[in-house]
Structure formats: structure tokens, C-alpha cells
Structure 1
């Protein structure tokens, strides 16, 4: 795996969690915040953790940010600091800049600054939860515009049937990529066509949102 170098600006819950996850995936991370306590908490997960002013391109450069492949700006509710940090990182020529927005207006400003992606964690979490609970899904993950991966309990009508006989790709336009036998705690990745579904199974399926909606309606009947 090719190691990439990231700089994360702002070490609140989102930023610090991101530092930990990138570290767990073997990536090189520089962690920056104005709060010394937050910097110390992130230090075990960062190649470099420092107290610094992320709105100052010179300060970022001295901390090694200019050599990063990507940057993430997560500075909480301070809109001005967020915008200035993005501008400073742009000045350093960092090719990918991701920024957390706390409001629609904030998101619009970040989009106009040309960031690679505007992140709204609370809104995205709310959307996924609303989708999941309204359709009685166990899990939901968007993977591309109009497409997602969903986990749902095996519908009563499917129990006792072979996967092949259900003809899910033909009937619904979805693919079953895994089956989780919850009772045995066993995951069947790319399950065999002759797999017989049980009432303890959940299905991990991929397809268009429209196709998955059709399958969800059948599952709810």
C-alpha cells in the first residue's frame, strides 16, 4: 500500500477521529490545532503533532504541510479560520483539500474556494440514519451518486430458497456481495449460488437506489 501524507487542521471529535483512522491505515499524518491539550491527545497517532496557526501559510509550511498529498480542514464553528486555512493550504499547493462545513452558507463558500470535497458529518450521518430506519435497514452506505450498499434482514419470502432461484439480479437489478449468518456469526463473502437463506441471515446488497428501494419494499411485505 502506498503511504500518503496528510495534514489535519482542527482536532475536535471529527479531526482527531480522522487522525486515528488514517494512522490505523498506515498513513503519515500531521496533526495541527491551536489547543495544546488536543494536540497532545493526537500525538500518539501522528507523525507530527503541533500547536500552530493554520491560517498562516508560513506556519503550515514550517510544520511540513507543504509536502502533503492532501489536507483536511476541521476547525469547528470558526468560519473565518476555516476559510483562511483553506486559502493558506491552497497557497502551499496542496493538491487535495477537504473541508468540514457547519452550515449551508459555510459549505457554499468552501465550494467556491474549490475544495475537493465539502464534508458535513452531522448532516451525512442524519441522512444515513433516516434512510436506514425508514426502510428498516441494518446498515446503509452510499458508494456513488444514485448507488449504495445496504444490509437488510432476509425477507420471509426468501427464507428456505437458494440464492440462485431468487434471481435477484434479474428481478431487482441488485447483487448480493455477502451474507451474514447472525446466529453463527459467520460472514459468507460472494456467497455460492446454491446457498440456502435462513431466518438468521442478513443480506449485503449493492445496486442503484431505485433497485434497492424495490428490494426494500419486498423485504417489508
Structure 2
């Protein structure tokens, strides 16, 4: 069991807090709105009305012993920054911050948080990718400009080996795994001499720019 601090109990923060608590973890939840605190109070280990930008308040709650923290203060960027700074001062190992803009994300990254989450943007990109008919099957955002995507093999690649394509050198992409839909088998770090065909799907990692280029090779 791990201890988590969740700051901000809007839709995102409360969902994270409840999910962690239901998975058996100890969750300390804090928000300045008592109604929001009450919404999770019966499920999490401790839910309090308080100011998460105040380091003494956080220390009294035991935040300094947390394994990780999630900061989700809605549109209040100032509160997000100050709360994150207080948590950093408490030496919490990993801090995840929900951001509302790219500028907000840049500020948080400069502070040194573990990861920023931009749900509205990431969901929109995922939907656009699916609607665009690019042949991408699944899409997982791993960072501000890095993703893993599952894709069918473009027609131009049929009959060519992974070695011949040399995607790492030519496109800055790495084939993480290959799945043969006919046999149901999956190869992690697939054989570079495997000839690709239309029954294969590829799990490919790379920058969003590189993945966008390969998506249009159909």
C-alpha cells in the first residue's frame, strides 16, 4: 500500500483520489471547498478542507510521507504552482500536475514535477487521430511530445524486413512489439529480419511529429 496526496477535488482530482483509495492505497485529499471534500470523505483515508499552498498544513497532514502527489486545482494556475512548490519542498518523490494550457505545463516542468497531464488536449488529439483514418489503432500519450501507437502495416512496407526499413535511423521511430493477427502471437523487440505483411500490427514509439508522418504512409 502506498500513500498519495491529492490536491484539488474537482472531477479529475476526485476521480483519481477515489480510484487510488478503491485500489487499497492510503489517500490524503485536500481542497478549499468543503462540498468537494465531503464527496470523497467516506472513501479516502483522510479528506480535509485546507490550503494546499501552505507547507505547514501539508506537513500536519503527513504529506511529507507521501509516495506521490497529484495536483489538480482547475483553472487556478497560481494555486497549482504554489501547491506544487510546497510539495516539492516536502521532498515528495513524484508529483503529477493536471494543467490547463501548454504554458502551464512548461512552468510545471521547469519546477521539476514528474509529469504534467493535459486531459482535454490529450483526449482531443486521440480523437482526432482516430477520426483521421490514419490506420492508428491505439494511442497512448507518454509525455508532452512522445507517444506509443499501435498501427497496421502501411502498404509500402509489405514484404520488407524491419532491418531494411531501419525506422530508427530513417524516421526516429522504434518498433516496440509486433503482433501477428493470424497466429495471435506477439513478439517484443521483434526479429529485424521479419518480413512485414498485412496481418501484422506494430507497436511503435516516437515523437508525435514522427508518428504523424508514418500515419500518412497508407
What does residue 137 of structure 1 align with? 136
Alignment RMSD, CA only?
A: 4.0
Q: Hey, which bits of structure 1, 4+ residues long, moved more than 6 A?
A: 23-27
SS at match of 1:138: strand
Report what 1:51 is aligned to: 48
Give CA deviations for 1:101-146 in whole Å, capped at 9, x if unaligned: 33578x2896599462553221232234334543342233455665
CA distance in structure 1 between the aligned counterparts of 2:153 and 2:9, rounded to whole angstroms:
41
Deviation string, structure 1 residues 87-113 (Cα, Å, up to 9, x no partner) = 6546645465443233578x2896599
Mapping of 1:1-221 within 5 angstroms? 5-19=3-17, 29-33=27-31, 34=34, 35-41=37-43, 43=44, 48-55=45-52, 56-77=54-75, 82=80, 85-86=83-84, 88-89=86-87, 92=90, 94=92, 97-102=95-100, 107=104, 111=108, 114=111, 116=113, 118-134=116-132, 135-143=134-142, 147-159=146-158, 161=159, 163-164=161-162, 166-169=164-167, 172-182=171-181, 185-218=184-217, 220=218
Separation in structure 2 between the aligned mates of residue 27 and residue 124 of structure 1, nearest angstrom:
27
Distance 2:173 2:179 in 1: 17
Change over 3 Å in CA distance of 1:24–1:150 after alignment to 2: farther
Moved more, 129-138 or 65-74: 129-138
Taking structure 1 as the reference length, the TM-score comes to 0.67
Distance 1:163 1:30, change over 3 A: farther
Tell me how far 1:203 sits from its aligned partner: 1.0
Deviations 1:39-84 (A, max 9, x none): 324x2xxxx3323314344432222112235432113345565456
